Amino acid sequence: MDNILTQQEAMLRSGQISEVDYTLKLKLEKGSQEYEGETTVRFLYNGGKKGRLKVDFVSKKIEILWINGKEETNYEKKESALFLPGELLTEGKNELKVKYKNVFDHSGSGFHKFTDPSDKAEYMHTDFEPFEAHRLFPSFDQPDLKATYELEITGPSEWTYIHNTVPKSEETQGNYKNIKFNKTKKFSTYLFSLIVGPYAVWEDKAGEIPLRIFCRKSLSKYMDAENLFAITKEAFGFLQEYFGVPYPYGKYDQIFVPEFNMGAMENVGAVTFSESYIFRGPRIYSEYLNRANTVYHEMVHMWFGNLVTMKWWNDLWLNESFADYLSYYSMSNGKIFPDALEHFYVREEWAYREDQLSTTHPIAGKAENTLEAISNFDGISYSKGASVLRQLMYYVGEEKFRDAMRLYFKRHAEKNTVLNDFLSCMSETSGIDIRGWSKEWLETTGVNTLSPVRQNGRLFLHQGPSATNGLLRTHALQASLFREKNGVLEEVWKKRVLVKGKETLLEENYTGEADLLLLNTEDFAYAKTYLSKESLPILKRSLHTLKDRFSRRVVWGSLWQMVRDAELAPKEFLELALDQGLKEPDLSVRNSHILTKALTVIDNYIPEAEKRNWSDKLNKIAKEKSLLAQNPEQEQILWFRILENTSKSPEQLSYLKELLDQKKSIPGIAMDQERRWVILSRLSAYGDPESSKRIEEETSKDNTDLGAKKAFLARISFPDPKTKKESWERFLKPKEGDSTDFLRYGMRGFQWNHQKQLLISYTDSYFNSVISVYETRDPHFASAFGHMMFPSFEPDPSLLKRTQEFLDQNKKLPELLKKDLQQQRDDIQRTLKVLEKYKN
């Protein structure tokens, strides 16, 4: 694959080129897999007559190319670029014009086209980050060559056309519409957007800003636009004031598009979202909160990312860390989700996990090319960066932090920035040695571990170095001491602590013995925190009596870190979860920190022979609890999910079947389409002889694309060699029209832990084919294949050895594959360490 841009090429080009603007004309037809384009690129050039200029461009056919008004054929065309000889260019103003034909993409990125099977409606959307704009038009596709865009489009009159700006004119002639959009402001190519199709629309306003929401017609019955508008308005209300710069892009559209690869994308004024955020059934609170968080996150990007953009992808964190933190922070200042920062604590598990893998990197990272840039969209650039910003805000104070943001936008609006630009603003407003801080936090890797120590009548906090580099850091955090009184945990004190070096004194004349010392109350620090062994008996008695919900969260979060680090026996965690955990009054805490963790512990950290026993216990609890009629709906959703997830025995499965056939029911749990597919997949995976017929029947009732995808998943789940073989072959050689999204659904059904015997031969197939998948397929498919097809049903020493050997023998693996495999290896290592320590 030569579809790549290196940092060096980009630097060279931004030295040669400036003042770029694009004029685009596109023509779309119904029922066609192709479209026509004509792009004019104007730019200033100072590269001399020597060498050649690279223009990024993937196209099916170039019809005519003009340079400065003259038709030219003397250029080189590669798969993903045009090279213009320097002698054809003038010093100063130049104009490149290309007339071309192109085909739509089906990978979810580029210019993706999708046909809705339920009504045959056609939908198209662009998705360009980090390096895909040149799939639609010839461009200098790098973030620091910001440009303006003027789009004119002709296409079927019944379609809606959504772009970064609003139309200035619209004319209908026969079955066609011609729309000329207003010229955009200056922004990077990856933020350009065009969304087309017979979309359903909702309208509102946030002050003077016109708001619109779009989704496919066939999904409009599920759209809760009112709720989304309320969140959008709240977000605008806070962010415009907070950043001290009014929203710069006029209107604000949010479009839910089919087969989207990520959660959402912050195109200027036209944010695209995954349809998984259109809830087709009831959801729990944290899922509504996460969706709202995505709305906030993308809006933060209008400033962080769109108005001020990182110069190159190595500074991706300047976009993502800020969006990731400020979204939760802003929400916590609003009325709809004031507890957002507690959910930020859940999100940070992503950072802690990745920062302990060998593949971790400094927050201020590196990206030698656009493929490496993709691998920076990870738990470090997003979540660790966000967590460290929260720590910084606590350290310098909220106002000074805010003032630095304001200064940053004022100084760098419409420009590109690097790490130092951010540091300068922060130094100026905070008056602290921000460069030292940056070295410690942004330019190193790894996480510290903080644990309480009682010694000679003194209470200490001990800091452990991060495993990768032995580094100790300065942390500002809160610690709380709780004491058990009449069976209830009560707070004795809470203090702000500055941790430096190995040991920090918390209390001089410490007399307590049976206390609970909680580190990182309210989660200001980026550190793993442990609980002392002495406090475990207290937790077993009284954890649920701890009044403060956030503190209970941090207790469970600390226990989880200890399990993963082999510092707490998985069985002890499970015992606590199935006792104190069931008394946890808050559903979000119970879901995120207790029940889903219990499932993970059973799947990963419990010896094979005991797994079933624990799973059965959980299944029994879920069944009993779900039949308590007085439960609120939210609680029922949770219990049903656990019940479904732990159904393995014939008896448990036949109960699911009875629910499916509505011979039995759970109060408050409707057998909606989503739940029907979930049960069908499970029955199929456990070899129910009727499953094939049932999937057939269900498909005839559900003619949506999601129905087709879930039926595909359910079929592939069936434990039969022929099914597995055929699906494997289809992943490697897709049928015409198989989109990345469709195949991704199929891959979800391929591996089930209990199908080990059947799947064992695919370990060889995986290692034999994975390189070519990463070399030839789109990155989203490759990464889904890499993760979901990895033989993780067998985390034993032989798989560890095999993975390591593969890495050793193939020194030149594609970067993304190398990273994915190293992470798999590290995960197995961690699992084996826990299993080994607690095998008895």
Catalytic positions, please? 298
138 upstream amide cis, omega within 30 of 0 = no
CA distances from 586 to 338, 546, 685 (A): 15, 12, 33
Report the nearest approach of Zn ion to the CB of residue 362 (Å): 19
Q: What is the DSSP string of 43-82?
A: EEE-S-SSSEEEEE---SEEEEEEETTEE---SEE-SSEE
Q: Are 89 and 82 in contact (CB under 8 A)?
A: no
Measure the CA–CA gap between 162 and 199, rounded to whole angstroms.
10
**Which tokens go with 339?**
């507890």
Report the C-alpha gap between 703 and 625 in whole angstroms.
34
Nearer to Zn ion, 269 or 746 (CB): 269
Return the number of the residue (320 or 378) whose C-beta is nearest Zn ion: 320
User: How large is the angle between the packed helices 385-396 and 340-347, nearest 10 degrees?
Assistant: 130
Residue with tokens 């190595």: 314
Q: Which is nearer to Zn ion, 274 or 681 (CB)?
A: 274
| Measured distance CA(633)–CA(631) in Å, rounded | 6
Pairing of strands 17-27, 34-45: antiparallel
Nearest to Zn ion of 323, 538 (CB atom): 323
Q: Which of 327, 189, 186, 164 is nearest to 255 (CA)?
A: 164
d(CA 556, CA 284): 20
Question: How near is the Cβ of 460 to Zn ion at its closest, in Å?
Answer: 39
Strand 252-257 vs strand 209-215: parallel, antiparallel, or unpaired?
Answer: parallel
Query: Judged by CB, which is closer to Zn ion: 254, or 647?
Result: 254
Alpha-carbon span 155 to 148, nearest angstrom: 23
Nearest residue (CB) to Zn ion, 334 versus 385:
385
Among residues 290, 296, 261, which one has the least CA distance to residue 277?
A: 290
Neighbours of 768 (CB within 10 A): 10
- Give the shortest CB-529-to-Zn ion separation in angstroms: 27
Nearest approach, Cβ of 298 to Zn ion (angstroms)? 7
In the bound state with Zn ion, the residue whose beta carbon lies nearer, of 319 and 684, is 319
Number of helical H runs and strand E runs in the chain: 29, 29
- C-beta of 323 vs 685, nearer to Zn ion: 323
Binding site for Zn ion (CB under 5 A): 320, 323
Count the neighbouring beta carbons within 10 Å of the beta carbon of residue 837.
13
Which of 320/507 has CB closer to Zn ion? 320
- Listed in sequence order, the residues at least 6 apart from 212 whose beta carbon sits closer than 8 Å to its beta carbon are 162, 201, 202, 203, 204, 251, 252, 253, 254
- Omega before residue 130 within 30° of 0, cis: yes
| Burial (CB count <10 Å: 0-12, 13-18, 19+), residue 832 | middle
Among residues 188 and 529, whose Cβ is nearest to Zn ion? 188
Task: Provide DSSP, 483-552.
Answer: EEETTEEEEEEEEEEEE-SSEEEEESS---SSEEEEESTTS-S-SEE---GGGHHHHHHHGGG---HHHH
Query: How far apart are CB 350 and Zn ion at their closest, in Å?
Result: 13
- Token pair of 102, please? 């192109």
Q: Provide the CA 546 distance to its chain's centre, in angstroms.
A: 33
With tokens 């400033």, the residue in question is 303
Within the chain, what is the greatest distance between any pair of CA atoms?
90
Q: In whole angstroms, how close is the CB of 297 to Zn ion at the nearest point?
A: 6
Shortest Cβ 793–Zn ion spacing (Å): 33
Residue closer to Zn ion by CB (options 320, 421) is 320
- Give dist(CA 786, CA 813) in Å, integer: 13
Crossing angle of helices 225-243 and 285-303, in 10° steps, is 40
Question: Closest approach of Cβ 377 to Zn ion, in Å?
Answer: 8
Shortest spacing between CB 766 and Zn ion, in angstroms: 31
The residue with tokens 């004029």 is 23
Residue whose CB is less far from Zn ion, 304 or 781: 304
Name the minimum Å distance from CB 6 to Zn ion: 24
Contact 499, 485 (CB under 8 A): no
Q: In angstroms, rounded to a whole number, what is the distance separating the alpha carbons of residues 408 and 426?
A: 8
Q: Which is nearer to Zn ion, 223 or 323 (CB)?
A: 323
Closest approach of Zn ion to the CB of residue 740, in Å: 20
Dist. CA 329–CA 349, nearest whole Å: 17
Q: What 3 state SS string does 104-127 have?
A: CECCCCEEEEEECCCCCCEEEEEE
End-to-end CA distance of the chain: 50
User: What is the closest distance, in whole angstroms, from the C-beta atom of residue 301 to Zn ion in the complex?
Assistant: 6
CB atoms within 10 A of CB 502: 12
- Provide, rounded to whole angstroms, the least separation between the CB of residue 190 and Zn ion: 12
CA-angle at 573, arms to 572 and 577, nearest 5°: 120
Nearest to 125, CA basis, from 102, 107, 143:
107
Measured from each CB, the residue nearest to Zn ion is 323
